[in-house]
Amino acid sequence: MSFGNQLYAKLRGDRVIWMIVAILSIYSILTVYSASTTEAYRLSGGNTEAAMIKHTTLILFGLFLTYVCYLTPYIQYSKLAPYLMLITIPLLVYTMAFGVELNEATRWVRVPFVGLTFQPSDFAKIALIIYVARAISSKQEYIDDFNDAFMPIIIPILIVVGLIAPDDLSTAAVLFFTCLLMMFMGRVNLKYILLLMFLGVVLFSFLVTLGTLAPETVRIGTWIKRITAFWYGEAGAENIQVIQAKIAIANGEWFGSGPGNSIQRNFIPASNSDYIYAIIFEEYGLIFGGFVILFLYVALFFRVVTIVTRSPKAFGAMLALGLGLMISLQAMMNMGVNVNILPVTGLALPMVSKGGTSVLFSGIAFGMILSVSRYIEKTT
């Protein structure tokens, strides 16, 4: 039996999602290597191989975490949910108070003794989705009771989103809408979904007021600057990114300039992270770059929908739905920014953009979805 056949036999679960993870990882390694040239010259005198080795190692470790989470029975995640939330909320509070400030945002925590930084919001996204999936699935019937909807579901969502939003509004927004959709699909009474939406507006208004009175606490200035730059096309750092990304996409045309031949990687800030989709477009074109990446995330969403409809357990369905929605929404927002149909957000392209915690937690999310699909395959 060939290696490919052996691998196919061992990797149970949804093999289309396995293929999506593999292809995204290949695009990530190739494009991050190409897009990191300028950064490598600035930081290490042009040692692009070191950047490639570092990112490839992260991708491989992310795939290892995918495999570990895939092997773990997904019901174990339900048992971990309360403990993950007990870690998440203090960790987010600590980040706000003592986090490391990078790029005018306090989103990172420095890991003691190793000198690496860790973004707690990536951990919080998965922890909250697991918790909400558990809270919804614990009530198999239609959730129409205030005590079943408010304290177990709505309050944790508002706390976690409220702690993330001051320094990372885009991540908080993706997480908030993911939880809203989970509540809708989980048959929570519409009045409680509307209540969450209303409280979300109240929370946002509070943050805007707080940011106006104390600008050092909330990045309201950055929010306004990005929205006005998008809406009115004003000159500024955000519009420089947009203009250079448009040039990269135009350069790519139908079939691209070829791997490693990007020109705009030298001019787009964050070309290996926030704007990596534009570099993929430039090097691989509309056909083999922009369309393929878009198709992979759309295909992921539809495969997750298939898992949800086939899952015999409510928790498995809610877990796969929440994680699949989170990945898909974040990807669409990242691509929307790159093609200038959305304001600049700072969101990574899941499993593709350079970034330690982003890659690792994307791998974990994929592994959990695959764990649910593996259980379905075993029971059918």
The rounded distance, in Å, linking the Cα atoms of 307 and 323 is 12
Looking at 125-274, which runs of residues are DSSP E strands? Answer: none
**Using an 8 Å Cβ cutoff, are 152 and 84 in contact?**
no
Q: Which two tokens stand for residue 314?
A: 């409510």
Mean pLDDT over the full length of the chain: 85
How confident is the model at residue 198, as a pLDDT?
95
**Smallest Cα–Cα separation from 18: which of 74, 73, 67, 75?**
67
* Average pLDDT rounded to a whole number, residues 127-141: 89
Phi then psi for 275, rounded to 5 degrees?
Answer: -110, 30
Q: Report pLDDT digits (tens) over 105-130.
A: 667 677 665 556 778 899 999 999 99
Q: Which two tokens stand for residue 33?
A: 């290597």
The residues pairing with 373 across neighbouring beta strands, listed in sequence order, are none
Residue 165 has pLDDT above 60, yes or no: yes
* Average pLDDT rounded to a whole number, residues 166-188: 92
Residue 218: count other Cβ atoms within 10 Å of its Cβ.
21
How confident is the model at residue 112, as a pLDDT?
67
How confident is the model at residue 5, as a pLDDT?
56
Confidence of residue 260 (pLDDT cuts 50, 70, 90): confident
Residue 324 has pLDDT above 90, yes or no: yes
Confidence of residue 2 (pLDDT cuts 50, 70, 90): low
Phi-psi region of 104 (alpha: psi -120 to 50; beta: other; left: phi over 0): left
Higher local confidence (pLDDT), 340 or 116: 340
The rounded distance, in Å, linking the Cα atoms of 30 and 10 is 27
Q: Which two tokens stand for residue 192?
A: 């409680």
How confident is the model at residue 113, as a pLDDT?
58
How confident is the model at residue 26, as a pLDDT?
95
Residue 46 has pLDDT above 80, yes or no: no
Residue 357 has pLDDT above 90, yes or no: no
Residue in the block written with tokens 């989709």: 277
The residues pairing with 110 across neighbouring beta strands, listed in sequence order, are 117
Residue 87 has pLDDT above 80, yes or no: yes
Which of 5-9, 156-160, 218-222 shows the lowest per-residue confidence on average (mean pLDDT)? 5-9
**Using an 8 Å Cβ cutoff, are 125 and 326 in contact?**
yes
Residue 233 has pLDDT above 70, yes or no: no
* Average pLDDT rounded to a whole number, residues 78-96: 92
What residues contact residue 337 under an 8 Å CB cut-off, 6+ apart? Answer: 274, 275, 343, 344, 345, 347
The rounded distance, in Å, linking the Cα atoms of 226 and 239 is 9
What is the sign of the dihedral through the CA atoms of 308, 59, 125 and 292?
Answer: negative
How confident is the model at residue 194, as a pLDDT?
94
Helix, strand, or coil (residue 143): strand
